[in-house]
Amino acid sequence: MITRRQIIPERLDDPHASREEIDASFRFIRLVNARLGGIRVLLRELEAERPRWPIDRPLRLLDLGTGVGDLPRAALRWADRRGLRLECMGIDLHPAVVELARREHADEPRLEIRALDAHRAVEEFGDASFDVVHAGMFLHHLPDAEILTVLRVMDRLARRRLVWNDLRRSALNRWLVWLLALPWHPSVRHDASVSVAKGFVASEMREFARRLELPSPRVRRAFAGRMVLVSTRRELGVAGQAGSR
Strands 59-64 and 86-92, bridge-based pairing: parallel
| Per-residue confidence (pLDDT) for residue 237, from 0 to 100 | 44
Average pLDDT for residues 222-237, to the nearest whole number? Answer: 86
Q: Give me the pLDDT at residue 59, please.
A: 98
- What does the mean pLDDT of the chain come to? 92
Q: Could you report the per-residue pLDDT of 87-108, keeping only the tens digit for each? A: 999 999 999 899 999 999 999 9
Give the residue-averaged pLDDT of 121-139.
97
CATH architecture of 11-50+57-168+201-232: 3-Layer(aba) Sandwich (3.40)
Residue 155: its H or E element:
helix 144-157
Residue 117: φ, ψ to 5°: -70, 130
- Which of 64-68, 185-189, 239-243 tops mean pLDDT? 64-68
pLDDT at 143 over 70: yes
Is the pTM here over 0.85, yes or no? yes
By C-alpha distance, which of 214, 125, 211 is closest to 164? 214
Asked whether residue 245 carries a pLDDT value surpassing 80, the answer given is no
- According to the model, what pLDDT value does residue 239 have? 38
Ranges of beta strands (E only) in 45-190 are 59-64, 86-92, 111-115, 130-136, 158-167
| Selected residue with higher pLDDT from 16 and 191 | 191
Within 13 Å and on the Cβ side, how many CA atoms surround 33? 24
pLDDT band of 238, cuts 50, 70, 90? very low
Give the DSSP per-residue string, 171-199: HHHHHHHHHHHTTS-HHHHHHHHHHHHT-
Task: Tell me how far apart the terminal alpha carbons of the chain are, to the nearest angstrom.
Answer: 45
Position 3 pLDDT exceeds 80: no
Examine the pLDDT at 81 and tell me if it is beyond 60: yes
In the predicted structure, residue 52 carries a pLDDT above the cut 60: yes
Residue 67, sorted as left (phi over 0), alpha (psi -120 to 50) or beta, turns out to be left
Average pLDDT over residues 206-219: 98
Question: In the chain, helix, strand, coil percent, each to 5?
Answer: 45, 20, 35
Average the pLDDT over each of 19-28, 137-146, 236-245 and give the range with the smallest value: 236-245
- Give yes or no for residue 151 having a pLDDT over 60: yes
- pLDDT over 90 at 14, yes or no: no
Cα–Cα distance for residue pair 235/245, rounded to 1 Å:
25
Identity (one letter) of the amino acid at 144?
A: D
Segment 237-242 long-range contacts (CB within 8 Å, at least 24 positions apart): 237/159, 239/52, 239/53, 239/54, 240/52, 240/53, 240/54, 240/55, 240/56, 241/51, 241/52, 241/53, 241/55, 242/50, 242/53, 242/54, 242/55, 242/83, 242/84, 242/85
Q: What is the DSSP string of 193-204?
A: HHHHHT-B-HHH
